[in-house]
Amino acid sequence: MINKSQRTKVIEKLLDFGVEIPCPDGVIIEENIKIGKGTLILPNTIILGKTEIGENCIIGPNSYISDTIIGNDTKLNNTQSFSSRIGSGVTTGPFVHIRPDCKIADNVHIGNFVEVKNSTVDEGSKLPHLLYVGDSDVGKDVNFGCGCVTVNYNGKNKFRTTVKDGAFIGCNTNLVA
Catalytic residues: 129
Alpha-carbon distance 111 to 128, whole Å?
4
Residue 176's φ and ψ, nearest 5 degrees, are -95, 120
CA-CA distance, 46 to 160, in Å (whole number)? 31
Task: Give the span between the Cα atoms of 41 and 61, in whole angstroms.
Answer: 8
CA dihedral 85, 35, 141, 121 (to 10 degrees): 10
